Amino acid sequence: MNMVILHIAGHGKKKSGVFDPGAIGFIKQGEHKYYAETFFDLLKKYEPKGHKVIYHTAYNVYNYGNIVDLAKSYGQDTVVIEWHFDAALSKSIKGGHVIVYNKFKPDALDLRLRDGINKMVGVRYNHRGHKGIAGRSNLSNVNRCAKGKVNYRLIELGLCTNCEDSKVMLESADEYAKVMSEAIYNQEIKINTQSDIQTGDYIVRSGDTLWGIANKYNMTVNELKKLNGLTNDIIHAGNKLKLNNNTKVETEVKPIIKPEPKKEDKLKATKTGDVVIRSIQSTLNSRYNTGLRVDGYYGSLTNKAIVKGLQTELNKQFSRKLKIDGSFGSSSRANWVTVKRGAKGNLTYLIQALLYCKGYKITLDLSFGGATKKVVKQFQKDNKLTVDGKIGKNAITALVK
């Protein structure tokens, strides 16, 4: 079934000319540019043929107030998906959701989108028994579309204030786009293996010869030349050649993809890597010889390197005999020493680094003072631990997760 889909990047340029970036948090592009410059390109990459798909990034549709007219300008049955990500005061809140008008039940598309989000970052909220769906009546575009009978939902892809969600949205954006495309079109989507049966012309590629092409399509060189009015054997890449009448030609279809930039290029281009995390990574490398790539992203490798640091410090400062393997298991837990207010040095630094990477605002000053204690208490509260402001066995176990 062919669909008309209107993707809207949330926020953007207002009528007044002022640019509204949306939420930012760990995703330095902000909501609007994340969709307009990153995610929508990836969605295009995973877009199957046969649908009319519009990507709206030109202005802030919410501010213009014209969502119903905009949707209907592409047809009465336009399916609208407005894309956002969330921010929250507590860094530990995570997960995405799909917003629908509160008097509506989610439809099959809403539920598939919800499943996609759940797969990538988990979901929150519950509407009429559907986890990951939020029913709202206080959002303008939701209300406008309900009233104007437009098939609409608003997606919150995750929380830009949560370290893990942001990491998925940044580092696994490609996979996230694929998962969401599969949800939208309700089919498994593959790229690179696309082929298309067409009748008609052959487009010459560099390296092709008349003989080779003729051979491939069961023609003679002379037939090919005659059909195309060629007086010599010279062909150039990009030339169109007619083949035998209505010969079915299997051609590769160029995927609609920009080449995936290398990670380093991408970082340079978008500057999304975090400067403090970079400094943590280079400190770990020089102090514990961890060989991390200094990319400003907190992921499993950086986490492992911090754990190696913790194990090294426990061995050095407290004569433990831990294996430095970067995995905080039962032996590391048993040999942990409680770190509390008044402590100074590398263990405190590593704790501060973990808190920072988990999205807490903290200065990495190697000194466990009142400010660090306050952040530790917040972390314990967020993780439903005993709130004592000390990093004991339970707190460190939660922190290294």
CB atoms near residue 378 (< 10 Å): 19
Q: Record the tokens describing residue 346, joined without a space.
A: 């590398």
Interface with Zn ion (CB under 5 A), residue from 22, 25, 106, 309: 22
φ, ψ (nearest 5 deg) of residue 216 = -65, -35
Question: Residue 32 or residue 266: which is nearer to Zn ion going by CB?
Answer: 32
Q: Which is nearer to Zn ion, 57 or 335 (CB)?
A: 57
Of 60 and 311, which has the nearer Cβ to Zn ion?
60
Angle at which helices 108-120 and 173-185 pack, to 10 degrees? 160
Task: With CB under 5 A as the rule, give the number of residues binding Zn ion.
Answer: 4
Which of 11/127 has CB closer to Zn ion? 11
Residue 30 in contact with Zn ion, rule: CB under 5 A? no
- 12 binding Zn ion? (CB under 5 A): no
Please say which residue, 53 or 157, places its beta carbon nearer to Zn ion: 157
- Cβ neighbour number for residue 149 with a 10 Å cutoff: 11
Binding region for Zn ion (CB under 5 A) out of 5-13, 74-82, 137-145, 147-155: 5-13
Comparing C-alpha atoms, which of 366, 364, 335, 326 is closest to residue 348?
Answer: 366
Tell me the closest approach of the beta carbon of residue 154 to Zn ion, in angstroms. Answer: 8
Complex with Zn ion: residue 45 or 84, whichever CB lies closer? 84
Q: Shortest gap between Cβ of 156 and Zn ion (angstroms)?
A: 7
Smallest gap from residue 136 Cβ to Zn ion (A): 13
Please state the closest distance from residue 274 (CB atom) to Zn ion, in A.
Answer: 21
Nearer to Zn ion, 85 or 356 (CB): 85
User: Which residue, 22 or 106, has its beta carbon nearer to Zn ion?
Assistant: 22
SS3 247: coil
The interface region with Zn ion, picked from 18-26, 273-281, 326-334, 380-388 by CB under 5 A, is 18-26
Pick from 263, 311, 265: nearest CA to 287? 311
In the complex, residue closest to Zn ion by CB: 84
Measured distance CA(80)–CA(183) in Å, rounded? 14
Quick one: which segment of 15-23, 94-102, 137-145, 274-282 binds Zn ion (CB under 5 A)?
15-23
Binding mask 37-76 for Zn ion (x = CB under 5 A): ----------------------------------------
In the bound complex, what is the minimum distance in angstroms from residue 161's beta carbon to Zn ion?
12
Closest distance to Zn ion from the beta carbon of 89 (Å):
16
> By CB under 5 A, is residue 10 in contact with Zn ion?
yes
Scan residues 69-98 and list those touching Zn ion (CB under 5 A). 84
Tell me the CA distances in angstroms from 312 to 5, 160, 289, 300, 399, one per residue in order. 54, 32, 11, 18, 17
- Crossing angle of helices 163-171 and 173-185, rounded to 10°: 80
Whichever of 124 and 225 has its CB closer to Zn ion, that residue is 124
Q: By CB neighbour count within 10 A (0-12 exposed, 13-18 middle, 19+ buried), where does 350 fall?
A: buried
State how far the Cα of 91 lies from the Cα of 98, in Å rounded to an integer: 20
Q: What is the number of alpha carbons within 13 Å of residue 58 lying toward its C-beta?
A: 9
CA distance 376 to 236: 67
Pairing of strands 4-9, 248-252: unpaired
Residues 32, 60: Cα–Cα separation, whole Å: 9
CB of 210 to Zn ion, least distance (A): 57
Tell me the β-bridge partners of 81: 7, 153
Smallest distance, Å, CB 31 to Zn ion? 5
**Nearest approach, Cβ of residue 32 and Zn ion (Å):** 8
- Within a 10 A sphere around the Cβ of 314, how many other Cβ atoms? 19
Shortest distance (Å) from residue 23 CB to Zn ion: 6
Return residues touching Zn ion (CB under 5 A): 10, 22, 31, 84
